Each structure stands twice: as structure tokens, then as C-alpha cells.
Structure 1
Amino acid sequence: MSHETRQSLEKDGYRAQLAVCADGRVLLRSRQRTDMTAWFPEIRTAALAQLPADTGLDGELVVWESGRLAFERLQQCLTRRGAGAAKAGQEWSAHYVVFDLVHAGADLTGRPYARRRAALEELFASRELRAPLTLCPATTDPAVAREWLSWTAAGLEGLCFKRLDGPYVPGARSWQKYKVRVTAEAIIGAVTGTLTAPRTVLLGRYDTAGRLQ
């Protein structure tokens, strides 16, 4: 790690851009430009209440359940509309974890990441932004980054590395990812399915008492 990069947490969620337009409209869309605003009414409500008009953010949608990230709950939110989406928002409230500020009354994409990050932190502080809008932690301290790598039990996948002097590049991978890999030995007990249908693999492991589970 060098002083020219900053590390951010990598989460198990959906990348999305959130915009509050100058006319007050809210737009939440995926990297593929799919409009997801109706699927996450709690995010739209928070954006209208907390963010100034003419603001554009880049971040990730996540859902917490029982102290860890629940990607399957997030997927379920994407299948609901209207009253169903509102009910899903009450059961499994999504959070929008923000890691970049791309528009604040003017286009910020050409500015270096260090300046965009400073502006993002100022936005959170001055507007007292709160959940479900969340500021993604970031650091230039290697010791802190190493500690974050131990948070995999909560569903965090690893770290993202961004150059402090780099501009924002829409639709491009302008940063690097480091994902934690955890391996374990297991016994394959059975394989179900056919060549044309999805297969299920039944795995077993020995517990501390030597019993196959």
C-alpha cells in the first residue's frame, strides 16, 4: 500500500448511483442504468429529506440482517413493487453506502478523488446525513486496512483501492479490488441434478468431536 491510494471497504451489495435532480426528482439506478428507485422507497425518502438538490452520489445498496450483510434479502427487494416494496423496506431496510460524490451543483468527475472524498465527508457532516444514507469508511493507513480484512464474518468481501489523484471514470473500473479468500476442506457426499438442470452438491465436514456433519 502506498500513500497515493486510499482503501475502502468492499461490500456484498449492488452498485448504484443516487441523484437528487435540480427539480427535486430522485433517481436510483444500477451500473446498467436500470431504474431501481421504485424498488427502494426508503432510499428515495431519505434522499428527498436529507440531500440538497442537484446532488449525485455513487455507492452500494446493502441489507443488514442479524449483524451481517444479507445479499439474498437485497435480491428479494428487487422483485417487489408498490406496496410490496414498501413492506420489504420495513422488513429488510436497505442502506445506501456512499463512496463517491460526482455532482454537487456542478460536475465533480474531473477532480481528483482526494478532493471528491473531502467534499463527500463535508456533505455528510454539514447536512448531518444519517441512515439509511451511510458514509463508506476509507483510510490511507495500512494498519487500519489490515484490520478491516478481518471483518469477513459480517459479510464484507475485502477492500477497494483508489488513487487519490484519479478522476471519476463513469462505467469504468478506475480502482482495484482485493477480496479475502477463505478455503476449507470438505467431503462431497452427493451430487444431485442432471446435465441440463442445476446441480446441488452435498458437502460434509468433521466437527470438533470427530462427527461428520
Structure 2
Amino acid sequence: MDLPRFAPMLATPGRLPSAAVDERWAYEVKYDGQRTVVYLPGDGTVLLRSRSGADITAAYPDLAPLGTALGNTAAVLDGEIVVFDDAGRSDFERLQSRMGLAGAPAKAARMARLVPAHLILFDVPLLGTGPLASLPYTERRTALESLGLTGTHWSTPAFIAGHGERALEATRAAGLEGLIAKRLDSAYEPGVRSRAWIKIRHLRTADVVVGGWLPGHGRLSDLPGALLLGERRGGGLRHIGNVGTGWSDSERSTLAGLLHGAASADCPFTPPPAVPGARWVLPRLVGEVAYATRTRAGLLRHPSWHRLRPDLTPEDLDTRTS
């Protein structure tokens, strides 16, 4: 059976819906993984496509048994491929060892044994011969849950209707990435970044030392396009990533003046990061950044500049934790 292609519906970053409309929304845990549309033609095979539409089936041989999970019933499912850490949280860094292996089946099979993948299912835009995309979220979820898709390598986690504040706090306490809020009456809009789906991330903050910068492009070539961030460890400065968002035009200009005034020929990081074109500065500027998570190597994921911290010196950060 030839199944129609579906581009995944996308969520818009935003805030938790207000208490006045809370009961009109469903809340799902936000996972940090690889978005995937799953095609089950009902002949025992499975086809996985990434958000871009690329065929990634061969990268995940551990998900091949899903092809027989619904017998001869055809379906198109929407979900997220994740790898869990030892605490049961999705770990994007571990998942990266599974990504990009569609052209290397032998390595993909080996990695499937070492780093097993898990498919989180949360929508069904087509079931049998009937498209469900135009139906409300609640009806699609009922159809999805009726399929009983729970196995070693896939599951259909529950959602809750209403109680958004409680759900957000529960995910924060559990160390999860956040929530996806979905309007109960919303249709499935293929390829659309919709306000009917809102992603709410928990962000952490860190006090950091600026050790260098990368210039912007074009007319911004004399202004910072990104800052190279470090943490003080034992008197030294360790690179923990770069930030290139979160500031206003006036803040960018202020930072440019401070960076030019602190220019240095020497890299302040130990060990020096491999960042072509970096311009080094004396490590005396302290700022605060917001970020989603850290990698096991300590790098900040999704950092965003928050503010300067003129009340702090780099030495103040030696014993501080983020």
C-alpha cells in the first residue's frame, strides 16, 4: 500500500497557557530526540523518515519489528526517537551515536546493540484507509492509544488534560526537558509550525567567563556574532561552548566595546578550543547565560545570553556551581 507523505507538524516555542484556558490544553513530556514520521503499510515493513523527509530506516534496525506490530493495518505515526540515560531521561548526546548511520548498516546494527533506541509515539495522522489529520487532537490520541503500541523499543506515553502548572513542575523536578502543550481541539497540520502546539522548555542558568568571540557577518563584522564561554576550574578556564543569541542591538554594541578593550593575543582556555577565526580576550568579563542541558563533556546545549554580571569577577566563580 502506498501511503501519503506527511511532513511533521511543528510546535512553537512559548509559555504555558494561562490558567483561564488551561482546561483546553493537553500536556505531553518534551523529549530530546530525533523527530520521525513512521510509515507502516501493513505488509510487515516499516519506513522511518526524519523531519527533513530523509529515509533513516536503516539507522535504526532495532525499530524494524514495529512493522508487524499492527498486523495488516496501515498507519502513519508521528513520534520521537530517543536514547535514555541511566535515570530514564532522553539523552541527545547518546542518540547522536545512532544518527547518520543509514548508509552504514553494519555499524547501525552494532550500535543498536550498544545504544538501543526507543520510539516515543504521540500522534497518528493516518490509520487504515482513513486520514485522521483533520480530527481533533483528542480523537487522534484515542485512536493512537487504541493500537496498544507498547514494546521494548516503542511506547505511547500518556498525556494529561489541564493541570499545566502541575505538569510543568513535575517535569522540572524530574530533570526532564519540559512540556509540549497541545490544544485539545487542534487538527494535525503537516509541515506547519503551529500555535496550537507550544513547546515549553526548562532553562537553567550559569555564570560564565568570556574568553573570546567570533565576529558577525557583513555590517556586523566589528560586532560579536558569538561569544566563547568558559568556567573557572582550579584557577584555569575551561571552554563550555559558544553563545550567539539573546542580546539586543544595544547589548551587542556594549559587548563589542568591552571585547575590543580586552583584546589579547593569547587563548585563555585550557585546553584551547578548536574554533577557527576566534578572537581572544583577557578572561575578565562575566556574564549569565540560560541553557537547556549539558552534555557529558560539560558543554552547554541551546545557550542564550541573559545579561552581564558586573557584580562578579572571574575569581568569584571558582567555587560557584550553576
Interval of TM-score (by shorter of Structure 1 and Structure 2): 0.7 to 0.9
Deviates more, 1:70-79 or 1:92-101: 70-79
- 2:41 and 2:209 map into 1 onto residues whose CA distance is 54
CA gap of 1:144–1:119, structure 2 versus 1, over 3 A, is farther
1:51 and 2:157 matched: no
**Unaligned stretches of 5+ in structure 2?**
1-16, 217-225, 235-315
SS at match of 1:58: strand
Structure number with the bigger relative contact order (C-alpha 8 A, sep ≥ 6) is: 1
SS at match of 1:76: coil
Match of 1:138 in 2: 159
Match of 2:318 in 1: 212
Question: Displacement of 1:119 after TM fit?
Answer: 1.2
**Structure 1 residue identity aligned to 2:168:** R
Whether the 8 Å CA contact 1:185–1:205 is kept in 2: the answer is: no
Match of 1:113 in 2: 137
Match of 1:69 in 2: 90
- The 5 Å alignment of 1:193-212 reads 201-204=229-232, 212=318
- 2:171 and 2:85 map into 1 onto residues whose CA distance is 20
Deviates more, 1:47-56 or 1:97-106: 47-56
**Unaligned stretches of 5+ in structure 1?**
none
Question: Displacement of 1:205 after TM fit?
Answer: 7.0
- 1:21 and 1:131 map into 2 onto residues whose CA distance is 21
- 2:166 and 2:64 map into 1 onto residues whose CA distance is 33
Match of 1:184 in 2: 206
Question: Displacement of 1:39 after TM fit?
Answer: 0.3
Match of 1:98 in 2: 121
Which of 1 and 2 has greater Rg?
2
- 2:67 and 2:209 map into 1 onto residues whose CA distance is 52
Match of 1:122 in 2: 146
Match of 1:60 in 2: 80
TM-score, reference length from structure 1 = 0.83
Question: Displacement of 1:137 after TM fit?
Answer: 3.0
**Structure 2 residue identity aligned to 1:118:** T
SS at match of 1:3: helix
Match of 1:27 in 2: 47
Question: Displacement of 1:23 after TM fit?
Answer: 3.3
More helix by share: 1
Aligned length: 201
Cα RMSD, aligned residues only: 2.6
SS at match of 1:176: strand
**Structure 2 residue identity aligned to 1:104:** L
Aligned residues: percent identity? 32
